[in-house]
Chain A
Amino acid sequence: MSEIKKIKNLKEFSTSADRFEGANLLCPGCAHSIIVREILNATNDDLILSSSTGCLEVCTAVYPYTSWDASWIHIGFENSSTAIAGAEAMHKALKAKGRLKQDRDPKFVAFGGDGASYDIGFQWISGCFERGHDMMYVVLDNEVYANTGGQRSSSTPIGSSATTSPAGRVSYGEKMNKKDMLSIMAAHGSPYVAQVAPNKWKNMIKAVQQGLNIEGPTFINAMSACTTEWKFDPADTVAISDLATDSLVFPLYEIIDGKELNITYRPKNIVPVEEYLAAQGRFKHLFKDQYKYLIKEWQERVDSNWEYLQRREEARV
């Protein structure tokens, strides 16, 4: 059971049987379910899942329906990580006592939005990683509290217009920089942290399989383009994700044992950040004369981050 599922190409992958069901209430074109599908299909192991409160939880468990074909639990906003850590600890204890009815080794995966992970559930995640549970935590990072109407979270990037940081005559919207969650989790001593995107499915599957098969707490930050709050056409979800990864706004990389950084995707043609910003309604105001200087700042920030990642990859520290 516990051997890694072999996925050579997309045709082979398409023979997987989905364990996440349709008729959930996520928006048309939502990247959350693309990510969840890719993660659940990446393995044939039994799964025990949990979700924090957020779009994913609210839309997939609307009484009297559930969209999950695996054991799934929701408790609160902050504790998808501790709920799954508790289940993992119980499984370990029962196994040690020989009280498991079936000898199966499930994988433990917690899902949370960026609000539940970067802000509200941060302390809980930190605790789980410090205790070293054998689990994987997945952030569906859509850079905003999309479920409650688009309030800013600590993942919201500079210049984005959110309902609690609206852009207007005196403000260009969100003023704080995005929290570097990956470095924080790597600093916990996690054996594997990675940033992935749904449009690079092969990359995603590789990261997920590696994360599931390493013992210890692993962390996946998945970029999730939000058609409602980023304000673009539902059909463009994959195109926007492509722009995000190719403009290096979301560089894809992994950090092993908190030290070895590997860049897992290098775009052949790097797209200017301006194109990524122009495609979304939340950055519309940046193209007014008043705020145009911010686009240049964006590009500089992305460039210096890319430079930093490359140098860190070389230095192996």
Chain B
Amino acid sequence: MLNKGWDEFEIGAMLRSFDGPTSNIATTLQEDRPYSQSNSFTASVADWRIEKPVFNKDYCIDCQFCWIYCPDMSIISRDKKMIGVDMDHCKGCGICVEVCPTNPKSLLMFQEKEDEDTVLAAWPEKEDKEK
């Protein structure tokens, strides 16, 4: 299907999100879903990113602000805990960093090429609030 030319497309097309039967998607987590090849979950927009968010779980308070405001379903939360960023679908908009309430922030933006362990080691210290 993916290799069709422009003049071979069907005029009215139906795409299936899943391969095989699914009973209740609303309560099935992403890792348990039988995604089909035509679901955009199997695609990646990682090359859109200029900066990437890096998650430091030492400072995270699991408030889930990043989860609710992420426009790309890229914050992975399981059992009320934030466990990481989905780097296949993150477009690097930076909303998660803006809404992070901790001090210092537990999510920060870095250049795509930077090494994650190095930036985690040099994480900024707690800033004093201006009075």
Which A residues have a C-beta under 8 Å from some C-beta of B?
10-26, 28-34, 37-38, 43-46, 60-70, 198-199, 201, 227, 233-239
Contact = CB atoms under 8 A, between A and B. Distances in A.
Contact of A64 (B2, B27, B29, B63): B2
Contact of A17 (B29, B37, B48, B79): B29
A84 to B, nearest CB: 17
B30 interface: yes
Contacts of B26: 16-17, 19, 43-46
B65 interface: yes
Contacts of A34: 68-71
Contacts of B39: 21, 65-67, 69
A10 B63 CA distance: 7
9 A-B pairs closest in CB distance:
A22-B89, A235-B94, A29-B93, A28-B93, A28-B91, A234-B93, A23-B43, A65-B40, A14-B64
Contacts of B48: 28
A238 B74 contact: no
B1 to A, nearest CB: 6
B44 interface: yes
B72 interface: yes
B64 A33 contact: no
A230 to B, nearest CB: 14
A38 B71 CA distance: 10
- Secondary structure at chain B's binding surface: helix, strand, loop or mixed? loop
A29 B94 contact: yes
B111 interface: no
B88 A23 contact: yes
B127 to A, nearest CB: 19
Interface string B51-91: 00000000000111101111111100111100000101111
A22 B72 contact: yes
Nearest to A198: B69
Interface residues of B, number: 54
A59 B24 CA distance: 25
Contact of B44 (A15, A19, A23): A23
A234 B96 CA distance: 11
B25 interface: yes
A31 B71 contact: yes
B41 interface: yes
B68 A33 contact: no
Most central of A20, A23, A236 by chain B CB within 10 Å: A23
11 contacts: A17-B25, A17-B27, A22-B90, A24-B40, A24-B72, A33-B71, A67-B40, A233-B94, A234-B93, A235-B97, A237-B93
Given A60-B40, A64-B37, A67-B41, 7 more contacts: A29-B94, A44-B27, A61-B15, A64-B15, A68-B17, A234-B94, A237-B95
Contacts of A239: 98
A23 B41 contact: yes
A235 B64 contact: no
Nearest to A227: B93
Nearest to A32: B71
B94 A38 contact: no
Q: Which of B43, B63, B79 has the most CB of A within 10 A?
A: B43
A12 B29 CA distance: 15
A15 B99 contact: no
Contacts of B45: 22-23, 25
B73 A14 contact: no
Contacts of A38: 68
B13 interface: yes
